[in-house]
Amino acid sequence: MKDIVEVLLFATSEPLTQLKLNACLQENDVNLDEVVKELNEEYENAGRGVFIGEIAGGYQILSKPEYHLYVQRLYNKTKKLQLSRAATEALAVIAYKQPISRSEIESIRGVNCDSVVRSLLEKELITIKGREDGPGRAILYGTTQNFLEGFGLNSISDLPKLKELSELMHEENISSETADASE
């Protein structure tokens, strides 16, 4: 069974989920989590340059971080998302507050977000999740599977907590003030 799971992981460009595995095998008695754990142990013991990582609710074969430079050279590009500061800010608001309307995003950011939201929709990082119940029935936005894959997250709950971010920003401000005072 490990060979079949390994082949499916190798062949797919999207994360392999338990549901997709069951559909391929036409049975439900294979636990993907257990097979992945066994395969990862084999890869580690053999000193392989790859591992199976949990991405967007499924699994993918990934290169170890120390080999990123070589993969990047192979494709002669980075896989990093190229987002403007405005797009990054809007995407962060959407990720943490989803589902959220455009007017709520604008209220938080303090600027018009029409073009930024359109750009994020085109890049398929966000999608329309529905409409508000209130007056005007505003469109609600949320993040997509592409967002999770692009940022290497298994689920939206893997995002850093807002409290953690606040503490990090506070620590950075203190260290920069200390550095300025010592000059």
pLDDT at 136: 87
- pLDDT averaged over 10-residue windows placed end to end, the chain, 183 residues: 93 92 86 95 96 94 89 67 90 95 94 94 95 92 91 87 77 65 56
Residues 83, 75 contacting (CB under 8 angstroms) = no
Cα(92)–Cα(87) distance, integer angstroms: 8
**Is residue 104 in a domain?**
yes
pLDDT at 81: 72
Long-range Cβ pairs for the range 154-158 (8 Å, 24+): 154/54, 154/55, 154/56, 154/57, 155/56, 155/57, 156/95, 156/98
**Is residue 177 in a domain?**
no
59 plus 96 within the same structural domain: no
Cα(10)–Cα(52) distance, integer angstroms: 10
**Is residue 174 in a domain?**
no
**Is residue 67 in a domain?**
yes
Residues 102, 116 contacting (CB under 8 angstroms) = no
pLDDT at 72: 76
Contacts of 16 (CB under 8 A, 6+ apart): 5, 8, 9, 32, 58, 59, 60
Cα(25)–Cα(20) distance, integer angstroms: 9
What's the DSSP call for residue 70? H
Number of domains in the chain: 2
- Residue 98 belongs to what domain range? 85-167
6 plus 60 within the same structural domain: yes
- Single pTM value for the model: 0.59
